[in-house]
């Protein structure tokens, strides 16, 4: 999982850093704060969304499904509360926040797709002893 997600996390953090620089130039400290918050929200949301998949790959499908359902609902509710508080606060530029969220999510998605397309999992072939001259059954 780390081999696949590492690139996505790095690209998302890089995009968030770029958005922080642009936000600071465009809107000052409010833009910097908005971009930092937006980057953290997206990366945190997407990383937490991977936990159910990790549980499922470990053979815990029921726990993974429960985490997926409850975790996603909880994540969306927390994001809505954060957005409601942040939009009403004076220290964060709402436009920079929204554009950062879009840019970081697109960066994460592009990196994930690129990494999945280039991923070649190791294949182990086991040589089974065969009878010489006998046909397979």
What 3 state SS string does 17-63 have? HHHHHHHHHHHHHHHHHHHHHHHHHHHHHHHHCCHHHHHHHCCCHHH
Give the rounded percent of residues in the chain with a pLDDT score beyond 70. 88
- What is the domain partition of the chain in residue ranges? 2-116
The rounded distance, in Å, linking the Cα atoms of 71 and 36 is 23
Residues with Cβ within 8 Å of 33's Cβ and at least 6 positions away in sequence, in order, are 91, 92, 93
pLDDT at 133 over 60: no
pLDDT tens for 25-82 read: 999 999 999 999 999 999 988 888 887 777 777 777 777 777 777 877 888 888 888 8
Look-up: residue for tokens 């969220």? 101
Report the predicted TM-score, pTM, of the whole model to 2 decimal places. Answer: 0.72
Q: How wide is the angle at C-alpha 134 spanned by C-alphas 128 and 137, nearest 5°?
A: 70
């Amino acid at each position: 999982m780390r081999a696949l997600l590492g690139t996505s996390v790095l690209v998302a953090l890089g995009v968030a850093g770029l958005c922080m620089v642009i936000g600071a130039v465009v809107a000052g400290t409010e833009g910097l704060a908005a971009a930092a918050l937006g980057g953290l929200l997206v990366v945190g949301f997407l990383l937490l969304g991977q936990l159910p998949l990790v549980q499922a790959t470990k053979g815990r499908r029921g726990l993974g499904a429960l985490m997926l359902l409850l975790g996603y609902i909880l994540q969306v509710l927390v994001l809505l509360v954060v957005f409601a508080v942040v939009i009403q606060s004076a220290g964060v530029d709402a436009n920079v926040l929204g554009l950062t969220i879009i840019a970081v999510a697109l960066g994460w998605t592009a990196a994930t797709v690129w990494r999945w397309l280039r991923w070649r999992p190791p294949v182990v072939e086991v040589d089974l002893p065969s009878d010489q001259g006998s046909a397979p059954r």
